[in-house]
């Protein structure tokens, strides 16, 4: 049965299981935030600027909110289930509200054990390189046991275009998503690892090592 959900159109894709910091400053979304905090703390993020019937998005659950003196707020949301817009409603609010249908991957579409293991290896390598680049080596949450959610955790690490991320969001086959990630990740892992090596060497050089310590290869 469709449920009603406030919509926050953004030029990004939120995945299930992904933590996302947001800065709320427009008056209509300040109102939306206040209404959500008084209610179930949920709203929908959609990458379409003007979402209509058929638009896809992800439910965002507000996990933390920091109000600022001028009325703006910093919040952190956690992606929950995906949804499709059934119809946009006239609720008399300055922000959009839609009747949405939440969905998960279709049953019987799990990946092969070898594919799952390969994705775990590639995802772990990418996450480690990204934490080095963020100067947080060794920092990272464990992978979810539920395979669909795990695939989205890996997808959330992928620095790619909006179209590709939207395609990952739309897929209802876990196997297809896992295979698409396995095909995409090797080049991204190699690039991230190379940048991480340069980053570490640059920091070491700045700490007093000679420039000659940085070599190609």
**Each residue's pLDDT tens digit, 17-35:** 999 999 999 999 999 999 9
Pair of tokens at residue 79: 């992606």
Cβ-based neighbours of 17, under 8 Å, separated by 6 or more: 78, 79, 144, 149, 152, 153, 156
Pair of tokens at residue 66: 């920091």
**Is 125 a residue whose pLDDT tops 60?**
yes
Question: What are the extents of the domains in the chain?
Answer: 3-103, 113-213
How many C-beta neighbours within 10 Å does residue 51 have?
Answer: 21
The model's confidence at residue 206, banded by pLDDT at 50, 70 and 90, is: low
The model's confidence at residue 141, banded by pLDDT at 50, 70 and 90, is: low
pTM of the model: 0.88
CATH 2.30.130.40 fits 3-103, yes or no: yes
């Amino acid at each position: 049965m469709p449920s009603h959900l406030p919509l926050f159109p953004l030029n990004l894709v939120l995945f299930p299981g992904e933590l996302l910091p947001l800065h709320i400053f427009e008056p209509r979304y300040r109102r939306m935030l206040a209404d959500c905090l008084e209610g179930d703390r949920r709203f929908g993020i959609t990458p379409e600027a003007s979402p209509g019937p058929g638009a896809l998005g992800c439910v965002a659950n507000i996990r933390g909110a920091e109000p600022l003196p001028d009325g703006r707020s910093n919040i952190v949301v956690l992606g929950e289930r995906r949804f499709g817009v059934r119809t946009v409603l006239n609720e008399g609010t300055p922000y959009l509200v839609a009747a949405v249908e939440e969905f998960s991957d279709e049953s019987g579409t799990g990946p092969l054990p070898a594919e799952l293991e390969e994705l775990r290896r590639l995802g772990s390598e990418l996450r480690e390189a990204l934490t080095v680049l963020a100067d947080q080596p060794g920092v990272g949450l464990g992978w979810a046991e539920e395979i669909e959610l795990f695939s989205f955790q890996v997808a959330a690490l992928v620095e790619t275009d909006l179209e590709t991320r939207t395609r990952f969001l739309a897929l209802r086959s876990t196997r297809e998503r896992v295979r698409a990630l396995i095909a995409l990740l090797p080049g991204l892992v190699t690039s991230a690892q190379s940048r991480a090596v340069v980053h570490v060497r640059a920091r070491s050089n700045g700490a007093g090592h000679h420039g000659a310590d940085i070599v190609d290869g």
